[in-house]
């Protein structure tokens, strides 16, 4: 007897349909599993056998072959257990074949027959939808995640007996209760709590509006990390398409938690500086998305930038340009989305007081500072569109209570500025000012006569290069958008020049 059921395989963050075929024939009694399996799939054989016996079914003493098709795609994960068990039972005539049509099976089995949750449900159910399948049987705990995909009928199951009863007798399934959205207040810090620092606040606003990469330099305790943590509160909302994109990544990584809903807040990832290159970029023999992909459509915050291992941060260079990361492994090439805004913070020297108001406290020697700065390459510094030096907050500002602009106000301006960009780039492949290619700069950022003269002069005085020149123009474009101006003015260019990217020359002048 031969029967086939549907299941899915996740590779990277994409999922594809897999046919699980079972054949029971006369011959030497054995249970064989084929189809380019990874070891956790191969172990399914023993879980299925145990689960079936403890649910009251005995495998026939015949030759049982299970094939996962297509056989040229590597199968990973423990989600095939349920499909294998059902295929074997169906081939043995225990399940009505009609009930298997138009249904996808996902779930890991315990030896007692229970169905355990698995990760990556969202891409799996999305794959089912695009393959035209309407019913999905999945673990009870994964029900809410499955329900995130509209137009699908999701059947949550607890154990194997229940699955069989459901398939054969249409026994109704227990649907988990709708968990009420708890009206908890967002714990994201608000810009209203930041006293003083207008210069820095303005920089944040510009950076977020144009999705410009952003670097803060300053002594310890100046509030760099605090400001970075406030950034999520001014990020614009995500479109539904973006929400699904981001949720898929989180689903594969099993980061949905107990109460999954589509991720509707832009991610803010702040990995610790001990992170490995694979942890940042994505890795493993079957690569998992790394922090830069988890920050997709959101913010990646690297605090204490020079403390990261050099080879780790240098990885960022390619995704910062391409907005995706390619990971090549023995099992194939994987591409993860990585379109994020980089926010980073660093001290000017190992002790942190170099060139600050407390400069006299700094005892770092020239070689120490060189070594410290040497961990960040100039190409990486060049990729920072906006760079600002942060000073410690004055006493009067610390004790000041309230009166600051709230994140909500700032966010309104950000949303407005992004709307302008959306309209401007409607026909382009990019969406933000920070992404304007050099060839399109004259088209989108035309400069008047006075502005051109000003930039010509700044080009020499500031020692700009072609790359930094373009960055200044892009940032000025965003500043003008924030003010709702169609043309870039001199004052916009001036502010952009003040925020221009950091150069190691600053340290050299001070150390001479």
Partner 1 sequence: MMELCYEYWWASYYGLTDLKKCSVFEALGNAKAIYEASVLVYEGLGFLSKEQIAAMEASKQPSVIEKKTNEMIAKGIRLTTLSMEDYPKRLRCIADAPYGLFYIGDLSITEKPCIGMVGARRATSYGRTMSEHFAMQLAEKDYVIVSGMARGIDGASHRGALKGNGKTIAVLGGGVEFCYPKENRDIYELLKQNGLILSQYCPGTMPMAHFFPARNRIISGLSDVVMVMEAKEKSGSLITVDFALEQGRDIYAMPGRITDTMSLGCNLLIRQGAGILQSPDLFLEDYLPRTAESYMEETNLVPKTTHYAPRKTDKIDKTIVESKEKSDNLQNFSLEKEESMVYSCFDFYARSIQDVADETGLDLLKLISVVMRLCEKGLIKESFKNQYIRCK
Terminal CA-CA length for the chain: 85
Least spacing, CB of residue 415 vs partner 1, in Å: 21
SS3 label, residue 346: strand
Closest distance between partner 1 and the C-beta of residue 438, in Å? 25
Q: Which residue, 397 or 428, is less far from partner 1 as judged by CB?
A: 397
Tell me if 33 sits within 8 A of 41, measured CB to CB.
yes
Asked whether the beta carbons of 191 and 226 are under 8 A apart, the reply is: no
* Torsion (CA) 160, 162, 164, 168 in degrees, nearest 10: 180
Phi first, then psi: give them for residue 328, nearest 5 degrees: -105, 125
Concatenating the DSSP letter of every residue in 419-446 gives HHHHHHTTTSS--SGGG--GGGHHHHS-
| Least Cβ distance, residue 505 to partner 1 (angstroms) | 10
Which positions lie near partner 1, rule CB under 8 A? 196-200, 202, 217, 348, 355, 357, 359-360, 362, 366, 387-391, 394, 397, 457, 461, 490-492, 494-495, 497-498, 502, 506, 508-512
- How distant, in Å, are the alpha carbons of 40, 174, 364 from that of 415? 46, 43, 43
Identify which of residues 200 and 208 has a Cβ nearer to partner 1 in the complex: 200
> Measured from the CB atom, is 318 or 389 closer to partner 1?
389
CB of 356 to partner 1, least distance (A): 9
* Best CA proximity match to 102, nearest among 172, 17, 160: 17
Residues in the chain: 512
Whether residue 185 is preceded by a cis peptide bond, meaning omega within 30 degrees of 0, is: no
Name the residue nearer to partner 1 (CB basis): 72 or 512.
Answer: 512
Residue number with CB closer to partner 1 (69 or 498): 498
Considering the complex, state which of residue 401 and residue 512 has its C-beta at the smaller distance from partner 1: 512
Closer to partner 1 by CB, 181 or 460: give it: 460
- CB 465 → partner 1: shortest distance, Å? 17
Q: Least Å distance between CB 477 and partner 1? A: 15
User: For 118, phi and psi rounded to 5 degrees?
Assistant: -130, 170
d(CA 410, CA 421) in angstroms, rounded, equals 17
Which of 321, 510 has the CB closer to partner 1? 510
Q: How far is the CB of 200 from partner 1 (least distance, A)?
A: 7
Structure tokens at 502: 């950091």
Q: CB of residue 472 vs partner 1: minimum separation in angstroms?
A: 12
Nearest to 16 by CA among 65, 86, 74: 74
């Amino acid at each position: 007897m031969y029967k086939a059921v549907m299941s899915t395989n996740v590779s990277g963050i994409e999922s594809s349909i897999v046919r699980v075929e079972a054949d029971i024939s006369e011959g030497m009694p054995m249970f064989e599993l084929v189809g380019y399996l990874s070891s956790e799939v191969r172990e399914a054989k023993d879980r299925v056998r145990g689960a079936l016996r403890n649910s009251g079914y005995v495998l026939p003493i015949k030759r049982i072959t299970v094939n996962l098709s297509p056989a040229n795609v590597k199968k990973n994960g423990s989600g095939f257990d349920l499909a294998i068990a059902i295929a074997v039972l169906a081939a043995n005539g225990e399940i009505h074949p009609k009930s298997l049509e138009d249904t996808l099976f996902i779930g890991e089995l315990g030896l007692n027959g229970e169905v355990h949750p698995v990760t990556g449900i969202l891409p799996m159910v999305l794959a089912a939808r695009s393959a035209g399948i309407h019913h999905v049987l999945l673990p009870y705990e994964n029900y809410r995640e499955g329900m995130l995909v509209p137009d699908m009928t999701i059947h949550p199951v607890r154990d194997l007996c229940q699955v069989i009863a459901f398939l054969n007798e249409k026994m109704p399934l227990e649907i988990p209760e709708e968990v009420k959205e708890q009206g908890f207040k967002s714990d994201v810090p608000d810009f209203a709590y930041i006293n003083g620092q207008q210069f820095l606040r303005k920089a944040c606003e510009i950076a977020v509006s144009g999705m410009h990469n952003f670097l803060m330099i300053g002594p310890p305790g100046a509030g760099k990390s605090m400001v970075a943590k406030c950034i999520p509160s001014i990020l614009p909302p995500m479109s539904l398409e973006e929400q699904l994109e981001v949720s898929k990544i989180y689903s594969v990584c099993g980061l949905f938690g107990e109460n999954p809903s589509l991720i509707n807040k832009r991610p803010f990832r702040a990995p610790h500086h001990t992170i490995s290159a694979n942890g940042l970029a994505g890795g493993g023999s079957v690569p998992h998305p790394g922090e830069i992909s988890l920050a997709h459509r959101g913010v990646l915050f690297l605090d204490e930038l020079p403390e990261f291992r050099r080879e780790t941060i240098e990885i960022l260079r390619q995704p910062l340009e391409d907005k995706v990361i390619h990971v090549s492994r023995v099992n194939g090439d994987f591409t993860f989305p990585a379109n994020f805004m980089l926010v980073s913070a660093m001290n000017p020297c190992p002790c942190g007081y170099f060139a600050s108001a407390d400069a006299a406290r700094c005892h770092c020697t020239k070689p120490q500072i060189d070594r410290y700065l040497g961990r960040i390459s100039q190409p990486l510094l060049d990729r920072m569109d906006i760079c600002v030096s942060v000073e410690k907050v004055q006493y009067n500002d610390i004790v000041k209570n309230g009166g600051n602009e709230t994140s909500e106000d700032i966010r309104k301006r950000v949303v407005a500025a992004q709307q302008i960009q959306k309209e401007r780039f409607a026909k382009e492949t990019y969406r933000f000012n920070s992404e304007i290619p050099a060839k399109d700069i004259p088209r989108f950022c035309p400069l008047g006569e006075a502005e051109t003269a000003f930039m010509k002069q700044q080009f020499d005085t500031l020692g700009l290069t072609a790359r930094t020149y373009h960055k200044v123009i892009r940032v000025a474009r965003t500043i003008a958008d924030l003010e709702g101006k169609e043309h870039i003015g001199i004052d916009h260019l001036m502010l952009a020049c003040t925020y221009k990217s950091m150069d190691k020359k600053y340290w050299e002048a001070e150390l001479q």
